[in-house]
Amino acid sequence: MTVSSNLRFYLAILMENTFVYHRQLNELALHFLLSQGEGSIKDRCHLYATEISDEQFHELAEYVLNETLEDRFPPNERLDQIRTSFVRALTVNGYQVYAQEGLFQVRSRFSPDRMQETKEESATLLNEMGFGAVQGSLDVAEQLYVKGEFAKSLWNSRKALEDLMKLLAKN
């Protein structure tokens, strides 16, 4: 599953508001084997949110969501709002988020291998049937989705379906 740049940006915002010490980011870097990173906490948060692989993104998201804020009193309502917004963004982008007893679990709805396999199977089938143009529209829709341009992606997906129906009607 390809993680959009928007979702990585949202994770960086959550990280900025969660981590208040460089030692916390050092522990995170060690845990996920990320680069040392230099600069401010904000700079390091943005670096780590973009550096983490697509395959490990959900693990980092879960780690950040579950980070305790022992040093912050009273509870930070703004951070809770940011967490809630980030959970919503994860859900919109194809992740399942479970909260149980104050702990979050983040899982991809679709495994990256299965998504790639499905994409290859459908591309092969469409090309064998002479419907390569439909695959082109699907590829554009996927690229737009990854960029976070959901309305355009949906439009291109519908266009691909329309093209497929027209081609099927001709045959």
Full pLDDT tens readout for the chain, 171 residues: 678 889 999 999 999 999 989 999 999 999 999 998 789 999 999 999 999 998 899 999 999 999 865 555 556 788 889 999 999 999 988 899 999 887 899 998 776 677 778 888 888 988 888 888 888 888 888 888 877 788 898 999 999 999 889 888 887
What are the residue boundaries of the structural domains of the chain, listed by start? 5-108, 112-170
Are 147 and 40 within 8 A, CB to CB? no
What's the confidence (pLDDT) of residue 46? 95
Q: How far is CA 84 from CA 18, 24, 31, 79, 102, in A?
A: 13, 22, 24, 9, 13
Largest Cα–Cα separation, the chain: 68
C-alpha 123 chain-centroid distance: 24
Single-letter code of the amino acid located at 17:
N
* pLDDT value of residue 74: 59
The residues with which 23 forms a beta bridge, in sequence order, are: none
| Strands annotated E in 40-111 | 95-100, 103-108
Beta-carbon count within 10 A of 104 CB:
18
